[in-house]
Chains A and B, each alone.
Chain A
Amino acid sequence: MPDAATPTRTPAGDDMKILVLEDDRTTGDYIVDGLAREGHSVDLLTEGREGLIRATTADYDVMVVDRMLPGLDGLSVVRTLRASGNLTPVLFLTSLGGVDDRIEGLNAGADDYLTKPFAFGELSARLSALARRPQMKAEETVLAAGDLKMDLIRRRVTRAGQEIDLLPREFALLEHLLRRKGRVQTRTMLLEAVWDLNFDPQTNVVETHVSRLRAKVDRPFDRELIETVRGAGYRIAE
């Protein structure tokens, strides 16, 4: 599939203050470097206890916490943080990544979970999803992007006045992208959200669904709504 290369840089208004707790220097620098290039301000700490103190004394939009940290491990950091009433969204990083570890992490109070090695695009997409919860306005019944309109009550999608016939799951996929307009959604995020599946497929299953959606939503029209973000996923531009 030809990737329409689009810069991953998010608009300046989305800049976040991010705390990263990661003891591996190379990985830590890479995260900090990538996030800084996207315009976020990032603090990196390599020790658990120090990280916990920083997290409770400064105000962050979102945190990245490695599971294994010297001093105080990541699980304990998040648990202590939550016990003290701090609700800063936390993305857990881990080298493990079995179903057990995932659930253990989420039970400790983490909001999302990423297994090493990860692509930077995945981390960045998940962080912006976390920092902006809650992202939906419940009273919204019509979603729109450009000349595309989605009526959530009548389950109808039109573009430039033309009705588009979608299968239920295609509708759900498009709705998910529209609700998160401007934000990248990775393949695994889409698999989780639309199909409630939590695994990393070895084949391009998500791509094939997006390409079918595109065939209906984009191909007959002159402007492409669903963009491919290289190394990350998909998004609908604002």
Chain B
Amino acid sequence: MSRRPARGLWLSTPVRLAGGLVALFTLASMGTLGASYVVTRAALAEGLRDDLRSAVAGYAAAPTPGAIGELVAAEAEATDARRRIISYLAPDGRRYGNGYLAPGEEGFRLYPLEDLQLQNHLPYLALTARLRGGLLTVAASQSQIEDLGRAYVTLLLVSLLPSVVIAMAGGVWIARRTGRRIDGLGRVLDRIAAGDLAARVPETARRGDDLTVIGERINDMAAAREAATEALRQVSADIAHDLKTPIQRVSVLLERLRDLPELPPAAEDLAGRAVAETEGIAATFQALLQIAQIEGGSPRARFGAVDLTAVTETLAEVYTPAAEDSGHLLRTDLAPGPLLVTGDRALLGQVLANLIENALRHTPAGCEIRVRLQREAGAVVLEVSDDGPGIPAEEHGRVLRRLYRLERSRTTPGSGLGLSLVAVIADLHGADLQLGDAAPGLRVRLRFPAESSALAGKG
């Protein structure tokens, strides 16, 4: 069961969509405002030129340079130099006006600010004309046009800012809302992946909404899987019934044969061996059915806190005399209990029984089997190791496979399902199973999440 890291809010689709829309909206606004700025600015500039032309034309009526000078002086008196500068350079070198602009050629010119010996720092548009032998220059401040730029920037900000804020806030709000629904879908999928096929996405009133549609699809899928699992279970049950009943009959007939009076000892022995074989077949069947059932995940419904120390002690005690009788030494190294894990006591007992039986069966007399139980950070680690021949590292993956037997162990009894059963039970408990080299021998290591964290993992 893997828990995915929380998705960043800023990476969620609604926020990204909102961001994209904002960018698009900004570009469009900048485009239209920019165009209207360019047009307005051009109109204003043209107006300014007309204004200057008509101002210059006004002086053309004056008959002499002296008269122009008088007029300019009078007009300049009443004119704010920050708005307009009027200057006339008479043919005799006298200057009139409220500011001196070094006149150049006739026509329009822009005066950059540093050329003006004035306090304000605004560019002027100047028109110079030759008049009665002198040079008349009328310059108008371009501040109106410059202000226009600032006005447009302000307009852009004022119109964009609320849209951006509203769009992003809306995006975040939708992201939060859909995020919650998506998390809900994720949790249902996690539960389904963990084997809880009854998990369903709650129905919402928002018919046709895309997340509702996805939820419905998930529910359809879960229902289909549940039905398939149920069908498989039914098939296993049917197969079990249809095959175990004949096995039962055979074993009944063989038992009857064995118990017949005055049976030659050889025949009785053969019948007894046949009974034992049918028991072996039944045990294999039983293990396969159990594996199928555990893989279905249903035993998880019965999980509770189990003291692994107590279970291990009991199993070690049960197997100690059997180990002694076969010349093995069974040793335990258990951390003081209780070491709690979340699980099913019977299945955990089965794990220990299978591991100990496996070690007893596959190691020669004189070997030592060690059962070790330790607490680690957030985990309980169970280890069963022996100093027997071990399993080659390249076979480690294969022995967990169903019905796989090592070449050399084909002749020893056992269903070949012991370790597979251990593997599925470990998986059911969220435990990590590792086979390792005990140098010499085999070490099987099971790392269970400790009880509290196991419960937290479920929530």
**Judging by beta carbons under 8 Å apart, are A195 and B240 in contact?**
no
Q: Which of B248, B289, B317 contacts A27 (CB 8 A)?
A: B248
* Chain B residues within an 8 Å CB radius of A202: 283, 357, 413-415, 418
Q: Kindly report which residue of chain B lies nearest to residue A121, judged by CB atoms.
A: B255
Q: Does B154 contact A (CB under 8 A)?
A: no
| Range class of the A interface residue count | 35 or more
Q: Does B314 contact A (CB under 8 A)?
A: yes
| Cα–Cα, bound, A100→B294 (Å) | 9
Q: Does B244 contact A (CB under 8 A)?
A: yes
Check A195/B252 contact, CB under 8 A, given A27-B245, A95-B237, A99-B299. Answer: no
Check A97/B357 contact, CB under 8 A, given A26-B249, A116-B248. Answer: no
| Cα–Cα, bound, A30→B255 (Å) | 10
B-contacting 9-mer, from A46-54, A155-163, A204-212, A216-224: A204-212
* Chain B residues within an 8 Å CB radius of A195: 314, 317-318
Q: Does B349 contact A (CB under 8 A)?
A: yes
- Give the residues from 180 to 211 in chain A that come closer than 8 angstroms, CB to CB, to chain B: 191, 195-205, 208-209, 211
* Chain B residues within an 8 Å CB radius of A71: none
* Chain B residues within an 8 Å CB radius of A197: 314-315, 318, 346, 349, 353
Q: Does B293 contact A (CB under 8 A)?
A: yes
* Chain A residues within an 8 Å CB radius of B278: 117
Q: Kindly report which residue of chain B lies nearest to residue A209, judged by CB atoms.
A: B321
Q: Does A146 contact B (CB under 8 A)?
A: no
B412 to chain A minimum Cβ distance, whole angstroms, is 11
A81-119 Cβ-contact flags toward B at 8 Å (1 or 0): 000000000000001111111010000000000011111
- Give the residues from 332 to 368 in chain B that come closer than 8 angstroms, CB to CB, to chain A: 344, 346-347, 349-350, 353, 357, 360-361
Q: Does B298 contact A (CB under 8 A)?
A: yes
B379 to chain A minimum Cβ distance, whole angstroms, is 25
* Chain B residues within an 8 Å CB radius of A169: 317
B312-329 Cβ-contact flags toward A at 8 Å (1 or 0): 001101110110110000
Check A205/B321 contact, CB under 8 A, given A97-B286, A100-B293, A200-B283. Answer: yes
| Cα–Cα, bound, A74→B195 (Å) | 28
For the A-B complex, the count of residue pairs with Cβ-Cβ distances under 8 Å equals: 110
**Judging by beta carbons under 8 Å apart, are A203 and B245 in contact?**
no
Q: Does A59 contact B (CB under 8 A)?
A: no
**Judging by beta carbons under 8 Å apart, are A205 and B244 in contact?**
no
| Cα–Cα, bound, A141→B261 (Å) | 43
Overall SS of chain A's interface: loop
Overall SS of chain B's interface: helix
**Judging by beta carbons under 8 Å apart, are B414 and A208 in contact?**
no
Q: Does B87 contact A (CB under 8 A)?
A: no
Q: Which of B248, B414, B415, B418 contacts A24 (CB 8 A)?
A: B248
* Chain A residues within an 8 Å CB radius of B309: none
B320 to chain A minimum Cβ distance, whole angstroms, is 8
B230 to chain A minimum Cβ distance, whole angstroms, is 13
Give the interface centre of B252, B282, B418 by most chain A CB atoms within 10 Å: B252
| Cα–Cα, bound, A203→B252 (Å) | 22
**Can you name 28 A-B pairs with beta carbons within 8 Å?**
A24-B248, A27-B249, A30-B252, A68-B241, A95-B244, A95-B245, A97-B290, A99-B293, A99-B299, A99-B347, A117-B251, A117-B278, A118-B248, A119-B251, A120-B255, A195-B318, A196-B314, A197-B314, A197-B315, A200-B283, A200-B286, A201-B318, A202-B357, A202-B414, A205-B318, A208-B322, A208-B325, A211-B321
- Since A202-B413, A203-B319, A203-B361 are in contact, a sample of 5 more A-B pairs with Cβ atoms closer than 8 Å, ordered by chain A residue number, is A101-B293, A115-B286, A199-B353, A201-B318, A212-B321
On B, residues with C-beta under 8 Å from A are 237, 240-241, 244-245, 247-249, 251-253, 255-256, 259, 278-279, 282-283, 286, 289-290, 293-294, 298-299, 302, 314-315, 317-319, 321-322, 324-325, 344, 346-347, 349-350, 353, 357, 360-361, 413-415, 418
On A, residues with C-beta under 8 Å from B are 24, 26-27, 30, 68, 95-101, 103, 115-120, 169, 191, 195-205, 208-209, 211-212, 231
| The 9 residue pairs across chains A and B that have the minimum distance between CB atoms | A208-B321, A117-B248, A98-B293, A95-B244, A26-B249, A95-B241, A30-B252, A208-B322, A117-B251
